[in-house]
Homo-oligomer: A and B are copies of this chain.
């Protein structure tokens, strides 16, 4: 079991400190602290408008070693992270820690800032593209800290991850800091991730490409949380922020998996009035939503809510009366943006309301079912969405671990293989989401039910679902597959730790060691 040894987590990691190891999922209540925030009150009548991002860095007193946060509603169209770090580099700042809620290929210039020591620490819930590869290659001085969306909210609100300056990409803002995501050329919809940052950061800078007369309305984030406002030509590339439409998979295997997943939800007895649902924006997930919608129509079921990142397809379900309301942390397409702007039952939610395990109850805890993806699933139902099978970083939890824990029925949908590589493995290369929070794995060859959910397995069998042992799916997955090349465990252990995967409660559930190389 090479991977278990790869998951041997040390007590102490250079550049991270003392490690608190993951020791199982707690659903108990506990005393928690929303940390104090030290800020500067407004001087009555003072202007908050600054000439540029450099001026904002100065006004906020950013020094070497500061922590800057960002949010990812602009996704792969985001300009702000690059703009801020370019100014920081120009000022000779070093040793910055950044805490973007996610990092995309567009953030490739960050690689150079890692190389030069402008940025030496990264906290994020998701990272794809050149920055991920650079982290795996060991270019970042301190290990990157990979969180879940809810874990990030928890860390920031609890003071575990103090933010010196939060930069907010504001599609619309006024000169006093009222801002929203629904208007302007870079409209992205809900600003759910940023909601957490503005309440906990010592300083908050709104950067906008649509400066409007006071007061910007709606005020998704209001002036009492914003220190400075900067106008720039473009905060993002609109074509990359939201797609015009999201599309259901057309692949027959994907459709079969999706249909099975919908049948599982039905067989589990969840498709009754009040049903609640979350899924991602991937092709199979969208297909699941389609089939679930059909079943809801057939059964005349009205759901209570759908949550998460919201697509036009979910908006259609809202408008068709299949759900009474939406909780939206992030809009995935233009239809969702418009609906969020115009429909009061399409509500925004902060990342904390979405998934923080340490508040008085996240929306994730009220989910009936969640449709999850997987890069790998292992025989303990553990899921990896953090690395490729070669150990190279390529994603992260996002809301995966949060919703798996919160939902009554957490369903992983996956093909048995990705190309020639098996997806059902002995042990996941990197542990993102613990198997104890995964209820069902749905593949084209049948459905495996977590042994912890015996009563569920019985229900599914009774409903005619093809329930098979996970070992059977594993065998099928491995048949004719290219063998995974595993390095010698001892050699692996000797490699430097380049990232830590935190569970949502802040404990370390896995470590990533140096892998791959920079081109």
Contact = CB atoms under 8 A, between A and B. Distances in A.
A308 to B, nearest CB: 14
Contacts of A27: 43-45
A361 B48 contact: yes
A362 B224 contact: yes
A344 B30 CA distance: 38
A223 B353 contact: yes
B213 A304 contact: yes
A40 B30 contact: yes
A214 B276 CA distance: 10
Nearest to A307: B215
Contact of A356 (B224, B358, B361): B224
Q: Classify the secondary structure of A's interface with B.
A: loop
A90 interface: no
Interface residues of A, number: 62
A177 B360 contact: yes
Between A218, A219, A406, the greatest number of chain B beta carbons within 10 A of the residue's beta carbon is seen for A219
A360 B225 contact: yes
Contacts of A46: 29
A157 B298 CA distance: 50
Given A34-B36, A215-B327, A356-B224, A365 B45 contact: yes
Contacts of A347: 217-219
A246 interface: no
Between A33, A325, A349, A350, the greatest number of chain B beta carbons within 10 A of the residue's beta carbon is seen for A325
A38 interface: yes
Interface in A176-231: 176-177, 204, 213-215, 217-219, 222-227
B224 A360 contact: yes
A31 interface: yes
B217 A360 contact: no
Contacts of A225: 359-360
Between A37, A176, A325, A361, the greatest number of chain B beta carbons within 10 A of the residue's beta carbon is seen for A361
A75 to B, nearest CB: 25
Given A36-B35, A224-B361, A361-B224, A215 B42 contact: no
Contacts of A446: none
Contacts of A70: none
A439 to B, nearest CB: 15
Nearest to A274: B213
A358 B226 CA distance: 13
A177 B274 contact: no
A223 B327 CA distance: 12
A443 B41 CA distance: 36
A324 B344 CA distance: 19
Given A41-B359, A217-B345, 18 more contacts: A31-B38, A31-B39, A32-B41, A33-B39, A34-B36, A42-B359, A42-B362, A44-B406, A45-B365, A176-B361, A214-B305, A215-B324, A215-B325, A215-B366, A217-B347, A218-B347, A223-B353, A224-B361
Interface of A: 27-46, 48, 159, 176-177, 204, 213-215, 217-219, 222-227, 274, 304-305, 324-325, 327, 344-345, 347, 349-350, 352-353, 356-363, 365-366, 405-406
21 contacts: A27-B44, A29-B40, A29-B46, A32-B39, A34-B36, A35-B36, A39-B360, A42-B365, A45-B365, A176-B366, A177-B361, A214-B274, A215-B305, A215-B325, A217-B324, A222-B349, A223-B363, A224-B353, A224-B359, A225-B360, A226-B361
- Nearest first, the 5 A-B pairs at minimum CB distance are A42-B361, A27-B44, A29-B43, A36-B36, A34-B37
